[in-house]
Structure formats: structure tokens, C-alpha cells
Amino acid sequence: MCGFCGYISSNNILDEKTITDMTNTLKKRGPNAQNTFIYRNVALGHTRLSIIDVKYGNQPMTKNYNNTNYTIVYNGELYNTDILRDNLTKKGYKFTTKCDTEVVLVAYLEYGNEFVNYLNGIFSFAIYNDKDNSIFLARDRLGIKPLFYYLDTNPSNPLFIFASEIKAILKHPDVTPIMDKQGLMELIGLGPAHTPGLSYFKNIKEIKAGYYSIIKDFKINEEQYWDLKTKECYDSEEETISNIHDLVVDATKKQLVSDVGICSMLSGGLDSSILSKIAKDNISDLTTFSIDYIGNDQNFISNEYQLTKDSDYVKIMQKFLNTTHKTVLIENTQLFELLNNSLIARDMPGMADIDSSMFAFCNKINKAGFKVCLSGECSDEIFGGYPWYYKEHLCMHDGFPWALSENLRDNLIKKGILKKGELREYVETRRQETLKNVEVLNNDEFENRFRRINYLTIKWFMNTLVERTDRMSMANSLEVRVPFADHRIFEYVYNIPARLKLGMSKTSIPTEKYLLRKAFEKELPNDIVYRKKSPFPKTYDPKYLKLVECKMQSILNNKDSKILKIINKEYIQSILEIHGENLTENLFGQLMTYPQTLAYLIQIENWLNLYNIELEL
């Protein structure tokens, strides 16, 4: 994995300072090599985390084709590299490296813009054509790898900038970090999620998942090359289970290719256990990692969404697989202190300590000597693992089912900034914009509702989680691979009837991830296969709550706190005074309850200061 950036100026670029400064911000994404490229009015920068062809895969990489130079900067992993290279070799192309970067560039030369349809992997990249001075940008189908851009069409000084992370864009001297009213509604109305294609910064957008864009003469032409399409699925339950098994095994095996060691995250849940089992079948000395918190043994409280502790099930799987296992223990003061690190990694307020715990986890995995790690993320979204797929009060909610927090969000914004109902109207408009892309097959309301929630979850909730994983891991020079995010799995499972997906063909009682459990029930311990889904572990130590409460109170007491310009101080003070007991809504499902809501507000204050955000409200 890597990081890259670049820009197109209105005039020829005379020195390397700006592109070097931008590239330096991405060092953690690629600590093994760093290079820049300047030609006329275009500058490119790249940092490399060497995984495949460690010796020869440096970038920017240039190839000449029909008297035109094409230069690529690339971030990702291609899982069908060998097949594509063989096909291109038969067509007469010659390769000088073993890395997937060269294969991507040559595929573009052969197939043109539509070559993205040939790629199986997680990626974002930019290809510069020096003949027509254009840049081709693309992002993988499910948005696992990031790509942001900034466009200023001022006729006197037009400018286009792109980068793997926002921090590189902000390093350009002509960019001012601004949050306008739309950014505020994203931050408070939708955060820590954001509308696909947007950010909390004015004029900084992202290439959406499954899209490519061509930039020429400071105009951007955006095209969608992939989306989830509705179609009939006639497979029997037995055929469906078999197909799922084969797809998951194939996707995982393809992602075990590396010239460096690979480990696996292991929570004791179904998803990570499946991947660890497949990995152990192919890597005899597999190392697995789990995360826990100091004090959770004493402070854990079972609830509707987290019935059991991960540690008990990790032990079952570690013994079953006989892996070398390491448990990363997080101390609560460290969790609090890393709120800033995770904020900087994401460049925007995020999932608070859910982010900072992942930051600490990835840091420890990297320090143990690993550059590549498997994660079970993206399974719940497609296989029906979340409660809003089957709990009636959630799936019938007219809003985002993981954020039944409309009242809370309304109350958080300072009075007078928005008109009454403006925030809810904005959020609902964004939701409907997504849902209009969902096709239904018939008048079966249960099936159609499930499909709409499924699509919404993939485009919004999953995007928030994979952003977290990419930024927290790459900030620690660790590549996290997500085999469940193989687009073939998503295309197939998306169209399996909802009742079959939830195991309701013979009973009215839904079973989360029924088909995935059945696909691997003979290969894993029974306790693992039928363990109820448990979310990413949180701290239950009252020490952490005290830390965030004290910090939030100090922010409210400081008249110079920037967040006071946008939040309802009196409302937040009322929450603090009774320790959240009057808080009936969770900001972001079970992942962000009272402590995480306070931590999110703390991150907003730190973001406004660290990034010197100007407010245009």
C-alpha cells in the first residue's frame, strides 16, 4: 500500500517544494520509498509501503506508448495481477517488474478507460497523459482505498489537486481549510459518516467508490463504472451456501499473496475466524492478533448488542487453529490520548475512541514486524449481520437505521445557525439521493425494504468503517486487507433473497448472517459459528468516561473554544451534569454512546484548532 498526491497548475512548475511538502505528509502510508515527478504544469508525489516486488516497484512509474508518456501513482493491491499480466503478455506487452502497479498501467494502455472493469482489488490511482495533459483518476468498486480532490476553476489561477489523504491537499499553499454550512450539516447531521463524494471541508471532495474521473483543462468528467445491480437469483439454499463458501475461500486465498509476512486480526467472531482458518490452511506459522482493554475483565457489562466478551472466543479459536497469538491490551489513558492521533489520521472528526483503539491496535501489529494483516470487515454489511436488517423498529425507521439520533443532533447545533427543520431536511435529502439508485424486482415489501437498507448500509455505514480501517492502519504503515469486500461476493450476495439470507425460508425467526454460518459450520467450532454478532470492542472502564467528561467540561469552560461557535453549550452542559442519563439516543448506534459522543465533540474542537479551520456559516 502507498500514498500519493499531485496537482495541475495554470503555469509550469518551477520547483519541487510544494509537491515535496505534500508528499511528506503521506510518509506513514509509505515509509519505504518516496519520489516526485514534475513535467510542465503537473506534479506527482508518491510514498511506498513495499509489499510486492520490494526492489523494483517504485513510483511514479512511466511508460511510453505510441509516442506518449503515461505516468502512474498508485495505492492498492490487485488480486488478479498474474491473470492480467499473462493476458497482456500474450498481446505483446513486456514487463520490467513483478508489481501490480505496472500491470495496472499497461492494462490502461491496452483497454482505455474501461480497463477498471478488468481489475479485482482495492485501489486508487492517477495516470497522467503528457500528450493531452490530462489525468485519469479511479477508485475501487467498494471504496476501500481513498482518493480526495480539490478543484478551483478561478480563470486567473485554476488549480486541481488530488491525494490519498486530505492533509496532503491542505499542504498546498493555495488551499485554505474552510467549513461552510454544508460541512457543518455533514459534521453534526451525519457524522462520523459523510455523504459519498463529500467531506467536511469546503471544496474538498472524494472520487466516489466505483467511479473514475478524467481531468482536462481544469474540468472534471466523472463516470460510474460499477454499482450493485438488482437481478433475480434462482439458486437453491444448498447451491447458495456452496457458492458463498467458494467465493470467500477464493477471495481470501487471492489476498494472501505477498512478498512479506501476513497476519490476521482475530476477535473470536465469525468473520475473523473464517479468514484466520483459511489463512492458517495456507500459512503454517500464522500469527493472529486480538484487542482488549485493561480493566474490561472487571468492568464488562453484557448488553443486548454485546452479550459476550471477545477474549473467551479468541481462546477457543487460538487453540483450534494453533496460531501464534498476541493480545494487544489498551490502557484507557492511552485510548484518550490517541483521540488526536486518530483525528489526524482521518483528517476529520471520526469514530472517537473506536478510531483511536484501532490506531493503537495497528501500531502494535506493525511493531510486531508485520506490514500486511487480514480483517473480517465488510461481512456484516452484505450478509445481514446488523440488527437493523431484522429488528422492526430499526428497519422501519425513516432515517439512517444506525443513527436514530435526530433529536440529539438537532440539539447539538447552536441555535440560530440553521432554520428549524433544516438539518433533518438535509439528512433526509442525502438519504433519498442514495435510495433512488436502488432497483426493486416486485411488490414484496419485506424484500424491497431489506434491499434498500442493504444498499444504504454499504454506501454509508460500511464506508465509514473502511475509512477508519484505512486511515488508522496506514497511519501506522500497515496494510489491512478485507477479503469480504471482493466485489464478486457483493454482486452475488446482494441479490440473494432476504428471507434466504436471514434463514427465514422455514421459520419466521431471522438469523443474522445465516448463510455465512452455514457455509463454514463444518470448518469451525460450533461455539464460534453460532456466536451472536458482537461489535468492535469498547472500553467499559469508568476511568475513560471520567477523562472525556473532564476534557469536555474544560472545553465548555473556555470562552475561546472554537467549538462554542457551532454547538449548543447549554444542552451539552446539561448532559454532562447528569453523566448522560438524560441521553436517550446514541449518536451512531451501539458504537457511539454517551462517552463516544463526548469524545466526538472533543475531536471537533481539536480539529478546528489543529487544522485552523475557517468557518463560513
Q: Which residues does the annotation mark as catalytic?
A: 2
Cα 103 to Cα 57, 83, 223, distances in angstroms:
11, 10, 22
**In whole angstroms, what is the distance from residue 68 CA to residue 342 CA?**
42
CA distance 485 to 352: 24
Name residue, grid cell 457489562. 301
Q: Is 584 exposed, middle or buried (0-12, 13-18, 19+ CB in 10 A)?
A: exposed
CA proximity to 200, closest of 213, 184, 216, 215: 184
* One-letter amino acid for residue 298 of the chain: Q
DSSP state of 160: E
| 497 vs 517: CA distance, rounded Å | 16
Cell digits of residue 452? 434498500
The closest alpha carbon to 124, from 468, 467, 475, 492, belongs to 467
Spatial distance between the Cα atoms of 317 and 530, rounded to a whole number of angstroms = 13
Assess whether the previous peptide bond of 192 is cis (omega < 30° from 0).
Answer: yes
> Which residues fall within 8 angstroms of residue 167, CB to CB, at 6 or more apart?
25, 26, 344, 347
Coil, strand, or helix at residue 96?
coil
Name, in order, each residue with C-beta under 8 angstroms of 395's C-beta and a sequence gap of 6 or more. 388, 389, 401, 449, 450, 453
Estimate the crossing angle of helix 462-474 against helix 353-367, to 10 degrees: 40
302 C-beta neighbours (distance < 10 Å), count: 9
